[in-house]
Chains A and B, each alone.
Chain A
Amino acid sequence: MTGVFQSVAVADEQPFSPRSVPTRADRAFRVVSTTAAMISLLIVVLTLVFLVDKSRPAYRQSGVIGFFTKSTWVPGSGKFGVLGLAENTMLISLVALCVGVPMSIGMAVFINEYAPNRVRQVITSAIDLLAALPSLLFGIWGKVALEGSITKMAAWLNGHLSVLPFLRLVSGHAAKGVLTGSTFQAGIVVGIMIIPLVTSVSRDVMAQVPREQCEGALALGGTRWGMVRDVILPFGRSGIVGGVLLGMGRALGETIAIYLIVSEVVAVNTHVLTTGSGSIASWIVTNFDGTSPLGRAGLIAAGLTLFLITFFVNVVAQFVVKRTGRFS
């Protein structure tokens, strides 16, 4: 027996591996593409370093804690506080998620399970196109074309659901001027803007459900909605959550559409239907022109805050999506 083993061991040579001996050209090729890859890494690190470095004067003036707990913006005396801006940014994203997420999941289910072939092509093209259109168009459409409907919709919501504190108006009844330029209006437009992203992530995840399971559900007599509800959505849950977070990251960073739509305020405004909102990003665009070096530092500090928030949201999102599968 031992003899047999020995002879096998002798016969077993290492398989020839062409990759183990790179030529000089190969090595050069590796160096080039590695360098390219490192540049992305460098950009991220440099962004962080520069933002931290250039925003220090603002923190020094207003104190790090004060910067995050106050809602003021007086560049002249260096009083900065992003609480209101951050809160309004978050609220716009939340409204956007309320609009965008049901639509996106609906679209993903519609495209993957419901739509006949022809309709599917129309819908996927429409959604891809929605992703390609510039945010300027969303912004100006949301401001001009949507203004009337938004006023009515806000009045309707306020009339029916004013039990909820955030749907109350600050003062009195619904007058026309009060209901535009609000978190609600911006949120709806941003919600439409995130539909393509959330839809495509959810679709990818839902397409990974083992087909036998879906067919099994149908074969057991389940309806199509039963299959979606009990097989597809539970299977894709964490992927969908990741997609929603990615959409939130996008919504948080949206600038120009929000800039065009809302009337900017620094203060905290939890009444989503009333005028006065804003986001960190649009605040930077509004205020950067002709500001003092100190004011600039304040804006950079606000940008850093935004960067950290979106970075965090995106990292969590990618982690969650990656756990479900391919979307690395």
Chain B
Amino acid sequence: MTTTDGAPPTQPVPVIVDEPRIIDDGPRRRPRFTREGLTDMVSAFLTGAAGAGIVRTALGWHGYLGTGIWWYIIFLVAYYLLQRDGASTEVGLDRVVTVVIWSAGVLVVAVLAWMLIFLVVRGAPRLSPGFFTHDMSKTGPLDPGGGVRAAIVGSAEQVGLATVVVVPLAILTAVYLHELKGRWSTLVRFAVNALAGVPSIVAGLIVYTVWVVGGHGPSGAAGSAALAILMLPFVTRSAEEVLRTVPDPLREASLALGSPQWRVVVQVVLPTALAGLTTSAILGVALGIGETAPLILTTSYSNATVTNPFHGPQSSLAYFVYTYVLEPSKTQNQRGYSALLVLVILVLVLFVLARYIGGRSRRKLRRSR
């Protein structure tokens, strides 16, 4: 006896089914890219080219951008129509969206590559060892030569000072938020988030108002204060995220062994999270080193190398770039580009370092679970 679909017997009747045919391979994934799909894509591409070309000649366009945009639009429409005829509306839509999303991904990577190549082409020719060992105190603005020594010293001191203040503060705040879960957590978290939303210029403005105009004048330390205001919420938030990844059983085990909470935090939680915390600190430094707007208001600028961050105007990489990069003369704006290249390389190094440490710790945590 066989059963038919849709009409189940009202009573449980013993059913004898045909010997089940053994399917020897598992569920098979349909290939995403068939030969027909490829043909469709190529013909849609050609249709787009033809369509855009015709419109271009008919209307007498000169630019390539408009033609390109029309090419892409016609390509999408043609591809959609071909796919719809091959399968269904839904499938056609799916394919077109897939193409659009992939092209968006390519676009983002292309923009990034464009920016980096642009910078290297402009900035690399002037980079030389001398660029790092000279400052601008003996070089006139239009003379060749000179370099970023003052700026590097300034940046290192300002960001270093800010980091020394921010990292302990941020980690303690994160501990308060996630380990102690104190009474004020909600309010503090709100404040940290609000601080994260403060525009960098406002951070600069507040230090400028309170400190610089308040009679102390511009200095590297004032810049550090503004940078610290910006870095604090960033590092706090990522540190809290890191603490969240520490498995709770670790805490419970050490509490069960009778250790007080501070020892749990200091000897168990923080060492476990060390790599993650380092990553967030490094990313905080990368953030601080690229900030410009608050420094313009707080540190002012100096051609000579200033080693004391607490007294008088001090240069920094970001300020150096800001000073030179828009100047009309080529010697000057090239100097700006080169300094920007140095800055971006620094950021890239920090970025790769953070990824490396972060990735290693994530692997370790996963293994420990």
Contact = CB atoms under 8 A, between A and B. Distances in A.
Contacts of A132: 283, 286-287, 290, 347-348, 350-351
Interface stretch (B36-44, B137-145, B156-164, B260-268): B260-268
B229 A34 contact: no
B12 interface: no
Given A40-B173, A255-B200, A130 B94 contact: no
Task: Identify the 5 closest CB pairs spanning chains A and B, nearest first.
Answer: A253-B199, A134-B290, A314-B197, A36-B172, A223-B94
A43 B232 contact: yes
Interface stretch (A4-12, A17-25, A69-77, A269-277): A17-25
Interface string A251-288: 01111100110000000000000000000010011001
Contacts of A215: none
Contacts of A226: 90, 94
Range of interface residues on A (Cβ < 8 Å): 35 or more
A129 B173 contact: no
B108 interface: yes
Contact of A40 (B195, B283, B290): B195
B199 A51 contact: no
Nearest to A288: B297
Given A18-B255, A39-B173, A51-B202, 13 more contacts: A33-B179, A37-B184, A39-B169, A40-B188, A106-B101, A132-B348, A136-B290, A137-B340, A155-B63, A156-B69, A246-B197, A296-B213, A310-B202
Contacts of B112: 126, 129-130
B221 interface: no
Contacts of B185: 37
Most buried by B among A22, A225, A300: A225
A252 B199 CA distance: 8
Most buried by A among B104, B187, B200: B104
B97 A225 contact: yes
Given A156-B65, A253-B202, A300-B205, A128 B351 contact: yes
Interface in B321-369: 321-322, 325-326, 336-337, 340, 343-344, 347-348, 350-351, 355
Contacts of A318: 190, 193
Nearest to A150: B65
A155 B64 CA distance: 12
Interface residues of B, number: 95
Contact of A284 (B169, B182, B205, B292): B205
Contacts, number: 265
B93 A192 contact: no
B343 A34 contact: no
A259 B293 CA distance: 10
A1 interface: no
B195 A44 contact: yes
B111 A192 contact: yes
11 contacts: A23-B260, A29-B262, A37-B177, A43-B229, A51-B205, A103-B104, A134-B290, A138-B115, A246-B197, A306-B199, A310-B199
Interface stretch (A57-65, A107-115, A175-183, A205-213): A107-115
B330 to A, nearest CB: 13
A285 B208 CA distance: 12
Contact of A225 (B98, B111, B115, B199): B98
Contacts of A39: 169, 173
Interface in B246-262: 255-256, 258, 260-262
A19 B289 CA distance: 41
A132 B343 CA distance: 11
A18 B184 contact: no
A126 B109 contact: yes
A269 B343 CA distance: 35
A253 B176 contact: no
A136 B343 contact: yes
A44 B292 contact: no
B357 to A, nearest CB: 14
A162 interface: no
Nearest to B182: A34
Nearest to B256: A18
A110 B194 contact: no
Q: Interface of chain A, helix or strand or loop or mixed?
A: helix
Nearest to A39: B169
Given A40-B236, A300-B209, A109 B192 contact: no
A299 B205 contact: yes
B50 interface: no
B286 A107 contact: no
B180 interface: yes
B46 interface: no
A187 interface: no
A19 B264 CA distance: 12
A315 to B, nearest CB: 7
Contact of B198 (A30, A33, A156, A310): A310
A163 interface: no
Contacts of B197: 246, 249, 253, 310-311, 313-315
A123 B199 contact: no
B109 A123 contact: yes
A48 B173 CA distance: 21
A300 B202 CA distance: 9
Contacts of B293: 255-256, 259, 281, 285
Interface string B221-260: 0000000010011001000000000000000000110101
Interface in A188-240: 192, 195, 222-226, 228
Contact of A37 (B93, B119, B182, B283): B182
B208 A33 contact: no
A253 B260 contact: no
A155 B192 CA distance: 44
B216 to A, nearest CB: 15
Interface string A139-159: 011011100010011011001
A22 B261 contact: yes
A305 B188 CA distance: 23
Given A129-B112, A130-B112, A253-B200, A119 B105 contact: yes
Among A46, A127, A133, A226, the most chain B Cβ lie within 10 Å of the Cβ of: A133
B210 A50 contact: yes
A127 B63 contact: no
B156 to A, nearest CB: 16
Nearest to A45: B191
